[in-house]
Amino acid sequence: MINYELYKVFYWAAKTGSLTQAAKALFLTQPSVSHAIKQLEDSFGVTLFYRNSKGVALTHEGAVLYSYIEQSQILISLAEKKMAELKNLDSGELKIGGSDSLFKHYLLPFLEDFHRQHPGITLSLIHGTTPEVITFLKEGRIDLGVVRMPIVDPQLEVREGIQLQDCFVAGAHYAELKNKTMSFDMLLQYPIILFSRNSRARMAVTELFHDYGYELKPEIEVGSVDLLIELARKGLGISYVTREFVSKELEEGSLFEIRLDVQLPPSQVGIMIMRNMPLSSAAKTFIERVR
């Protein structure tokens, strides 16, 4: 197999028509260039150049070789340029998996900042539940996932993000419950609205009630946080939501938090990547900025 460096010397000698100019372009001595050309000619058993008054010119065999080498050199140059762009975040793609609520209420400021600083990077947000996001990550469909912890999987590496606090909220239809401390028994007398059963928040609250000897059965199940909020505002029941995601509604008074005689445990958000797998420059830079 012929060394790539020999082809590189041949390319520049043919492109410039001068062994001296080829040597300057490659930061070599002219004897080194002449020796490389001789090695290439010996390996093929043909003459590639002949000397003329201006320097060197290609023979017929040399012209045939150059037609191929020129294409490969252009592709290699484009590849090197693309690698530099990816490293410098001038181009590329960042694919993130997570829930709509975490994208909207947690990642949005970081996404805005990243896009403003690196407009050449395409952002792809892939919606999914925690089990789905884990599958996406293992299949290579995303670079990283943003999910609720805990995540126990030896293939994954998870870095802690923000802490969230879930709570039950209601609208004006249940105004009599405002400022009233309720037990689980009392709460379960009212229609409960929960997120889909395969969500991490739903699993956590169901387990909590089970630990206290109660079965939590929702009257309504929905697939988005926005619906949880809107249905509670409309008085269709009491929704279980993340407090940080309804801060605006709580502040303006369209929703109020149900007080319980049991403290609901907080939950942790995690940034999830594949263990021992290299990250793209875009993914690495984004993760470093998320807190």
**What domains are defined for the chain?**
4-87 (1.10.10.10), 92-163+269-289 (3.40.190.10), 166-265 (3.40.190.10)
Q: What would the pLDDT profile of 256-282 be if each residue is shown by its tens digit?
A: 999 999 999 899 999 999 998 888 889
pTM: 0.70
Q: What would the pLDDT profile of 151-189 be if each residue is shown by its tens digit?
A: 889 999 999 989 999 999 999 999 999 999 999 999 999
Q: Which of 130, 135, 137, 129 shows the shortest CA–CA distance to 95?
A: 137
Residue 43: how many CA atoms within 13 Å on its side-chain side? 12
What's the pLDDT score for residue 223?
85
What's the pLDDT score for residue 42?
94
Does residue 130 have a pLDDT over 80?
A: yes
Does residue 225 have a pLDDT over 80?
A: yes
Does residue 283 have a pLDDT over 70?
A: yes
Mean pLDDT of the chain: 92
Q: What would the pLDDT profile of 50-96 be if each residue is shown by its tens digit?
A: 999 889 999 999 999 999 999 898 888 888 887 887 788 888 899 99
Among the ranges given (79-88, 94-103, 120-129, 208-217), the one the predictor scored with the smallest mean pLDDT = 79-88
What's the pLDDT score for residue 84?
80
What's the pLDDT score for residue 29?
95
Distance of CA 55 to CAs 11, 18, 226, 263, Å? 15, 5, 74, 86
Please name the residues in contact with 256: beta carbons below 8 A apart, sequence gap of 6 or more.
Answer: 169, 170, 171, 177, 178, 250
What's the pLDDT score for residue 121?
92
Does residue 251 have a pLDDT over 70?
A: yes
Percent of the chain with pLDDT over 70: 99
Does residue 196 have a pLDDT over 90?
A: no
What's the pLDDT score for residue 74?
85
What's the pLDDT score for residue 1?
55
Looking at the DSSP bridge assignments, the partners of residue 163 are: 268
